[in-house]
Copies of this chain bind each other. A is one copy, B any other.
Amino acid sequence: MPHPSWLITLLTDFGDRDSFVASMKGVVLTINPQATFVDLSHHVPPHSVEAAAYLLNSCYRDFPKGTVHVAVVDPGVGSARRALIAKSERYFFLAPDNGLLTYILAGNPEMEVREIENKDYRLPSAGHTFDGRDLFAPAAAWLTKQQSFESFGRLVTDCKTFTIAMPTWECKALLGEIVHVDRFGNLISNLTQQHLEEVRAVTKHQQLSIRIGKQAIAGLVASYSEGAEGQPYALINSDGKLEIFVKEASAEDLLKAGRGARIEVS
């Protein structure tokens, strides 16, 4: 069982030109002045629950045990959608019940999830547009003040999730998809080193052919510096994922491919 630490991470689509994120932090610090924050990102595309789910999954394990991860991408704010608090072996998660925890739930099947119902952990508010400040921030703060996990609300066993794109076989080719485009224009797929080994085993070839749509990737290398300029290459990135890049340039721009694009390994 983790013990909640004073460390809270924040992931939102609130951007940086308003004071939404600051308001959340102010509310937390009013309840627990010892809380500290790490911003995961506040530049999730507006309302993009799937992009937020990807980002949260890509980094939550890098944090110390007991970290409280708060994710608020919440187009349904103010509706009947539930607010969730969840507890894995090492972490806590707070998020709306809209699929944002999809990967976390898949990776932590033992996770206990509750609805945040306790009115004592909620700020009074004139309207229903800012649960980040009025519900999630105070709930996270009270959690770090050692309120019991059970006190937040009833157990939830039917969290909303979306379907995680899984690689599929077509003849001897493995089809995956681009699940994230990073700031450098690198295309990150849902294929791993393990998948490449499987393709090698099936095709009995060491040399793999990789395609994004109809475009062939020039080769599979070990680091960004090995690619020749102006051409797309693949590598296994530091998260173990197959990633397409162009040396010191943007694969997204060169290949005109983005999130959801199909990638084929044969």
Contacts and interface: CB of A to CB of B under 8 A. Distances in A.
A46 B252 CA distance: 14
A261 B58 CA distance: 41
Nearest to A128: B223
Q: Chain A binding site: helix, strand, loop or mixed by DSSP?
A: loop
B40 A22 contact: yes
A236 B129 CA distance: 8
Given A40-B19, A41-B16, A224-B78, A238 B130 contact: yes
Copies, count: 3
A25 interface: yes
A43 B236 CA distance: 25
A67 B30 CA distance: 10
A182 B18 contact: yes
Given A16-B43, A22-B62, A75-B248, 16 more contacts: A7-B29, A18-B183, A20-B183, A22-B40, A22-B59, A23-B59, A26-B64, A26-B67, A30-B64, A75-B224, A78-B224, A79-B224, A126-B238, A128-B235, A129-B243, A130-B237
12 contacts: A11-B19, A22-B38, A22-B41, A23-B59, A27-B62, A29-B38, A30-B62, A77-B223, A79-B224, A79-B225, A127-B222, A127-B235
